[in-house]
A and B are shown apart, each in its own frame.
Chain A
Amino acid sequence: MSQNAKFSQILASSVHDLKNSLQTVRSLIRTLALEQANSEKPEFQILDFETARMNSCVMQLLILYRLDASHFKPLLEECRVLDMLEEVGYQQSLQIQLRQISLAVECSDDLFCFCDDTLINTVLVSVVNNALRYCRQAIRLSGRQQGDYVCLCIEDDGPGFSYGIMAGTQGVKSGELGKGNTGLGLHFASTIAELHSQGQRNGFITLDNDSTLGGARFSLFLP
């Protein structure tokens, strides 16, 4: 085994180990929060949010590693888009309540798409995590049919994406390490989108600041 391959294997198993520890930590935090009379303490809220971010990051790394290490196809199923969006909303319910953010889900209940539910959920959770960091008080999840594609949108009322991010030029430069912009979330989202194909058509993502709420808009198109 080459030095490089060995290193990436060690990296992957370490990330997996991190994920397990993190899960233990997260469930302990939840148990502690339940025991506290005053569980709305901002410390718990921050602990929950930051560990959720870590978890999302670790999940993405693991999936990307698996994709890189072996060939596999997304496990497609027919899913109701409304269910998928609501699930993301439920996952974030604690943050939304505590920070009094309004999270709206807008989608017709007869919109369906073929996708790997688990993978898409990981994408959406990571983007919503990001929106939670930058929004002021509102996030909107929506789904609609657009031509041959089903489009899932996540919008917020924050400052919007920077030009560099939108143009895809902002990678991880040495000076930016540690500032919280790893580029992982978007790289992951576009990798997973592309993995979804139907005949000749592949999924893709777009980023812009045309949000109806005035901030950033992330759109995931599934064939």
Chain B
Amino acid sequence: MRKAIREMIYGFDMKLITEAANGSSAIAAMRKDSFDIVLCDYNLGSGKNGQQILEEARFRKLLPFYAVFIMVTAEQTQSMVLGAMDNKPDEYMTKPFNAEQLLNRIKRNISRKEYLGDIEKALDSGNISLAIAHCDKKLLENNRLMHTHLLKLRAQLAIKIGDFKNAKAIYQAVLEQSELNWATLGLGIIAYLQDDFSEAEAIFRKLIDDYPMMLEAFDWLAKTHEAQGDFAGAQNTLNEATALSPQAILRQQKLATMANMNGELSIAEKAYKTAIDLGKNSVHHSSGDFAGLAKIYSKTDAKSALKTLKDMRSLYFGNPEAELRAALLETEVFHQLADEESSVQAYQTAQKLSLELGNKAPTDLRLEMIKTSYLKGDDKAANKQLEQLIKNHADDDHFMEDVRKVLNETGNAQQGEKLIARIKKELVDINNKGVDLFKQGNITEATQVFQRAATTMPENKTIMINMVKILLHDLKTNEVNKEKIQRIQTFINKASQFGVKKEKIEHLQAQLNNLSHKINSTASQ
């Protein structure tokens, strides 16, 4: 087929044609030149598959916003099964096809990309409010061919900024015309984001019933189960989805984590192994998969655990996070092997790495460090780290559950509860004080209170968000200047970096964009 496709393409009037025999050379070619059209077979034998190439190209920003990516598949049903939540190609084409069909598809996609160019460009630069403005303008043009596509895009943009009312209205209007599954999915996503989990669950279940291959609905159903604390349900849904489509690494990683949490170690082991295998060709590879697998082995099979850690070290050489995970696991494995000397040595390495990493380490890893410290009788180090961690994450219920689990397992439940209560009270006091000052109109002092809190608890999401809200209010009521805008932007970026939900940030970002737009237009007058 490649030979046949080559014949077709050389027959078209193209400026530069580059062929790649496999995934790695395709990525290398995209690094070198910026292509308008990428034609990629999904099945490439060994090495990366088409989806992994697409993911890597998007991840490394090798595809400009106007580029058309066409995925060639062997099965008509494959497009649905391959569907990941993000990273869809512009078009799927099923083999076999001829030159006329290919050229026609390319033309259609290029003209669509051209029409949507402004919107995609704005999105590419992260300016959602500008993308919305372009989209609204285009909707008024009443281009029949693009109208439904624009509506779909517009609803997605509305969701991004937390404007659920408009998004919902669009989906409902579309569904009134015809039963388009993306609109139903959209309604489910909105229900999920508004914490209406029973409604979300009903919608996703119905979608899976009607479209048994719609992988996106499985992913959202699993998320809904997880949000409701139904981890067994999430695991089952992910298990079904991975059976339909075993190639998606992110889904395998999620399944492994869920199964591990549920104590279903054989399912977790299988999923970790699959994820490690897929990781060889994927940008989403993670040292966490090796650590997860080694942890499962550590309880039953010390030799395999140490072997897995060795593989991990060689792949993630010089990566402090991976080194820390390995050292923590070795502490445990050597302890089980009654090799106390090696265990203590591994613990000391872990502590050194943990101090170096500081708050750059993910929270689950920091908690793992604390647990190991308790188990090694190093209560002083554990308590100190724990206080810092709780201060920053006291309002994250899921995480606090994990913290309590560690405290129970290490026999520190009582003193831990006292610590949690004290820190929570401090947080409430600070928040109340700040909000009271704000209500009294004393913006300056309110800002100072939150600023101090933000310094001692730099990762606390509630404080970040409140800080942004107060600063935005100040911007609306008082003088607007560039420094203030920059300061708010820094807090918003930080909130997003620390995992505050997109929907909570985007409308604050939109407000900021509006205000900075004002100052720009005044300046130019």
**Shortest distance in angstroms between A45's beta carbon and chain B's nearest beta carbon?**
14
Chain B contacts for A112, CB-based, 8 A:
144
A78 at the interface (CB under 8 A from B): yes
B residues 255-311 touching A (CB-CB < 8 Å): none
Closest to B177 in A: A114
Chain B contacts for A80, CB-based, 8 A:
145
Known A31-B4, A78-B180, A112-B144; contact A23-B95, beta-carbon cutoff 8 A: yes
From B206-214, B345-353, B396-404, B458-466, give the one contacting chain A.
B206-214
Give the residue of A75, A83, A94, A114 whose beta carbon is less than 8 angstroms from that of B108: A83
Are A73 and B4 closer than 8 Å at their CB atoms? no
Chain B contacts for A91, CB-based, 8 A:
97-98, 101
Known A23-B96, A31-B3, A75-B80; contact A198-B178, beta-carbon cutoff 8 A: yes
Chain A contacts for B148, CB-based, 8 A:
78
Are B210 and A72 closer than 8 Å at their CB atoms? yes
B479 at the interface (CB under 8 A from A): no
Are A27 and B104 closer than 8 Å at their CB atoms? no
Are B211 and A72 closer than 8 Å at their CB atoms? yes
Are B181 and A76 closer than 8 Å at their CB atoms? yes
B residues 68-87 touching A (CB-CB < 8 Å): 74, 76, 80
Closest to A113 in B: B178
B residues 145-195 touching A (CB-CB < 8 Å): 145, 148, 177-181
Are B211 and A73 closer than 8 Å at their CB atoms? yes
B7 at the interface (CB under 8 A from A): yes
A residues 175-201 touching B (CB-CB < 8 Å): 198
CA distance A75 to B180 in the complex (A): 7
A26 at the interface (CB under 8 A from B): yes
Encode contact with B along A95-130: 1 for CB under 8 Å, 0 otherwise.
000000000000000101010001000000000000
Closest to B147 in A: A78
B19 at the interface (CB under 8 A from A): no
Known A26-B96, A93-B98; contact A76-B144, beta-carbon cutoff 8 A: no
A133 at the interface (CB under 8 A from B): no
Are A23 and B4 closer than 8 Å at their CB atoms? no
Encode contact with A along B27-69: 1 for CB under 8 Å, 0 otherwise.
0000000000000000000000000000000000000000000
Known A78-B180, A114-B180; contact A27-B96, beta-carbon cutoff 8 A: yes
Which range holds the interface residue count of chain B?
A: 20 to 34
CA distance A104 to B148 in the complex (A): 28
Closest to A26 in B: B96
Chain A contacts for B1, CB-based, 8 A:
27
A86 at the interface (CB under 8 A from B): yes
Chain B contacts for A23, CB-based, 8 A:
74, 95-96
**Shortest distance in angstroms between B176's beta carbon and chain A's nearest beta carbon?**
10
Which range holds the interface residue count of chain A?
A: 20 to 34
A41 at the interface (CB under 8 A from B): no
CA distance A26 to B94 in the complex (A): 14
A34 at the interface (CB under 8 A from B): yes
CA distance A144 to B80 in the complex (A): 30
Are A76 and B4 closer than 8 Å at their CB atoms? no
B100 at the interface (CB under 8 A from A): yes
Are B76 and A72 closer than 8 Å at their CB atoms? no
Closest to A82 in B: B145
In the complex, number of A-B residue pairs with CB atoms less than 8 Å apart: 61
A residues 55-83 touching B (CB-CB < 8 Å): 59, 70-73, 75-78, 80, 83
Are B211 and A78 closer than 8 Å at their CB atoms? no
Are B210 and A73 closer than 8 Å at their CB atoms? yes
Chain B contacts for A198, CB-based, 8 A:
178
Known A86-B104, A114-B180, A198-B178; contact A75-B211, beta-carbon cutoff 8 A: yes
**Shortest distance in angstroms between A125's beta carbon and chain B's nearest beta carbon?**
12
Closest to B3 in A: A31
Chain A contacts for B213, CB-based, 8 A:
72
**Shortest distance in angstroms between A190's beta carbon and chain B's nearest beta carbon?**
20
Chain B contacts for A83, CB-based, 8 A:
108
**Shortest distance in angstroms between B254's beta carbon and chain A's nearest beta carbon?**
25
CA distance A30 to B80 in the complex (A): 28
Give the residue of A27, A75, A78 whose beta carbon is less than 8 angstroms from that of B95: A27
Encode contact with B along A1-37: 1 for CB under 8 Å, 0 otherwise.
0000000000000000000100100110011001000
Encode contact with A along B1-39: 1 for CB under 8 Å, 0 otherwise.
101100100000000000000000000000000000000
Chain B contacts for A77, CB-based, 8 A:
180
CA distance A201 to B71 in the complex (A): 35
CA distance A91 to B103 in the complex (A): 12
Are B180 and A90 closer than 8 Å at their CB atoms? no
CA distance A30 to B3 in the complex (A): 10
CA distance A185 to B179 in the complex (A): 27
Chain B contacts for A27, CB-based, 8 A:
1, 4, 95-96
Are A118 and B212 closer than 8 Å at their CB atoms? no
Chain A contacts for B4, CB-based, 8 A:
27, 30-31, 34
CA distance A91 to B212 in the complex (A): 29
**Shortest distance in angstroms between B110's beta carbon and chain A's nearest beta carbon?**
14
A87 at the interface (CB under 8 A from B): yes
Known A71-B209, A86-B104; contact A34-B180, beta-carbon cutoff 8 A: no
Closest to B144 in A: A110
Known A31-B3, A72-B210, A73-B211; contact A90-B100, beta-carbon cutoff 8 A: yes
Are B104 and A87 closer than 8 Å at their CB atoms? yes
Nearest 3 CB-CB pairings of A with B: A90-B100, A114-B178, A73-B210
14 of the cross-chain contacts (CB-CB < 8 Å) are A26-B96, A27-B4, A27-B96, A34-B3, A72-B212, A73-B179, A75-B80, A76-B178, A76-B179, A77-B180, A78-B178, A83-B108, A90-B100, A94-B98
Which residues of chain B have a CB within 8 Å of any CB of chain A? 1, 3-4, 7, 74, 76, 80, 95-98, 100-101, 104, 108, 144-145, 148, 177-181, 209-213
Which residues of chain A have a CB within 8 Å of any CB of chain B? 20, 23, 26-27, 30-31, 34, 59, 70-73, 75-78, 80, 83, 86-87, 90-91, 93-94, 110, 112, 114, 118, 198
Q: List 17 additional A-B contacts (Cβ < 8 Å) besides A59-B76, A75-B80, A90-B98.
A: A23-B74, A27-B95, A27-B96, A30-B4, A30-B96, A31-B3, A34-B3, A34-B4, A73-B210, A73-B211, A75-B211, A76-B180, A78-B148, A78-B178, A87-B101, A93-B98, A93-B100
